[in-house]
Structures are given as C-alpha cells and as structure tokens.
Amino acid sequence: MQGPNSEKIKKMFGSIASGYDSANTVLSGGIHHIWKKDVVQASGVQPGFRVLDCATGTGDLAFEFKKAVGSNGQVTATDFCEEMLAIAEQKSKDKNIPLITEIADVTNLKFPDASFDICSIAFGIRNVSDPLKALSEMARVVRPGGKVMVLEFGQPTIPVFKQAYNFYSRFILPQIGGAITGQPSAYRYLQESSSEFPCREMFVKLMKQTEKFEAYSYRTLSGGIAYIYSGTVTRNRFV
C-alpha cells in the first residue's frame, strides 16, 4: 500500500502546526481527547511502562500515556515534523508533564529491537508514505507480548449518520480547518485521506501482512468515524 509523499506531508504539517490544536478542538468538539484516553485504556498500560508515541504531532496521546505510566515509566514522543514536535515540547513544559522528544521517521526508527512495552500512533498512519513499513518498525521496537496501538479515522457505516458525517467532513470541515490555520488545502487533504483510508478488517489485513503480531483486535469509535486497532507482538519471534 502506497501512502502520500513524505516531504509534502512534512511541509503541510509544518504549515498548520501553530493552529493544529485549535482546529482539532473545534472540528471534533474535543472528542479526540476522549478517543485518546480510550487508546490508553485499551493498551493495558501499567505504571512503569516504556511507551513510544510515533507521529506524536503536538503530543496529546503522549501526555495521556505519561499520566498512566507515572514517574517510574517513560514516554518518548517522536515526529518527523520539527514544527509539530516543537509544540509538543512547549506543551510538555506548560503542563509540567515530562516527555522525551525526538525527531524520528516512523518508517525508519533508530531504537533497538524490543525497547518499548507499547508503541502508538494516532491519526498518523494514513499520512505515512509506507504504512506497512511503519507498522513493521513499530512492532520491531516493542517487546514480545507488548502492544502496537493505532488510532485512525475510517468511514462510518450507519446509514443517515454516514451521509450526515460525509457532508460535514466534505463541505464544513475544510472550511473551518482552513479558516483557523489559513491552509484549507491541508484540511481538504485530511478529509480526503480519511474518506479513503482502509478501516476495520482492511486495516487488520495490513497489520497481518507485517507477520509481526500474534493477535489483533479493533474497536469502533463514534459510529465508525474513528477506530482503535491493537496488535500483540509475537512472543516467539526470536526463536
């Protein structure tokens, strides 16, 4: 599966970084914070765990994980866009929630094998040029039995709700996102990529293609607007 061009994506997120959080809050009515708490809960995270959040953007999922792992655990927040990561770093200081931050491309992670208990990505995987490579890398850096957690948009299936959501996301979302960030084309791209990205069993199939997971599950959020995918990293991979 081929994703978007990574240089264009990096530039696009650089151009919307300063308005990204405000646009998210207005466009989702704040519900993305609830979805992120759901990811943390579904991951089975424990105090003391080491978590890697990839494509962390402005860091919201990483902060939720840090609250769960406590002072004995650590959360490393990575992104390949400097402008987005700079906002995560500033928020970390403002909120007094310490994160380790690093510029990193999720398709080419520099961390050793099995160095984390959990690796997560929220609304990042559909923006990655090679999603299969990204999932494979995420699984590689997680210990056997640990979890890869993915939060991503998909397509609702419930009739009427589906039509209403499609109308909102096609005609209203790009206008509002564009007005807040000054980049309507970015919000047109974000809508179009969400409307096409494989979800449910199609995404699980992609996870299976990595051959790095022994178990998979997914959960539907808000009528199918978004999904949480979980993969348990194979325990006997080094045998």
Residue with tokens 């200081």: 93
Question: Of these, 40, 118, 128, 199, which contacts ligand SAM (CB under 6 A)?
Answer: 128
Question: Of these, 76, 92, 107, 230, which contacts ligand SAM (CB under 6 A)?
Answer: 107
CA dist 229 and 199 (Å) reads: 9
> Does 84 interact with ligand SAM (rule: CB under 6 A)?
yes
> Does 149 interact with ligand SAM (rule: CB under 6 A)?
no
Phi, psi of 118 (to 5 degrees): -140, 140
Question: Of these, 27, 51, 52, 57, which contacts ligand SAM (CB under 6 A)?
Answer: 57
CA dist 169 and 157 (Å) reads: 15
Count of residues interacting with ligand SAM (CB under 6 A): 22
Smallest distance from the beta carbon of 232 to ligand SAM, in angstroms?
22
Do 105 and 10 contact (CB within 8 A), yes or no?
no
Do 171 and 55 contact (CB within 8 A), yes or no?
no
The residues in 5-34 that bind ligand SAM, with binding defined as CB under 6 A, are 6, 9-10, 13
Strand, coil or helix: 58 = coil
The residues in 150-169 that bind ligand SAM, with binding defined as CB under 6 A, are none
Q: Cα–Cα distances in Å, from 144 out to 127, 167, 239?
A: 27, 43, 11
Q: Which is nearest to 88 in space by CA: 45, 59, 119?
A: 59
The region of 120-128, 152-160, 174-182, 196-204 touching ligand SAM under the rule CB under 6 A is 120-128
CA dist 76 and 62 (Å) reads: 8
The region of 104-112, 180-188, 208-216, 221-229 touching ligand SAM under the rule CB under 6 A is 104-112
Phi, psi of 36 (to 5 degrees): -70, -40
The residues in 178-197 that bind ligand SAM, with binding defined as CB under 6 A, are none
CA dist 81 and 55 (Å) reads: 8
- Indicate the residue whose CB is closest to ligand SAM: 57
Question: Of these, 19, 73, 124, 231, which contacts ligand SAM (CB under 6 A)?
Answer: 124
The region of 56-64, 93-101, 163-171, 205-213 touching ligand SAM under the rule CB under 6 A is 56-64
- For binding to ligand SAM (CB under 6 A), which residues are involved? 6, 9-10, 13, 54-57, 60-61, 79-81, 84, 105-107, 122-124, 127-128
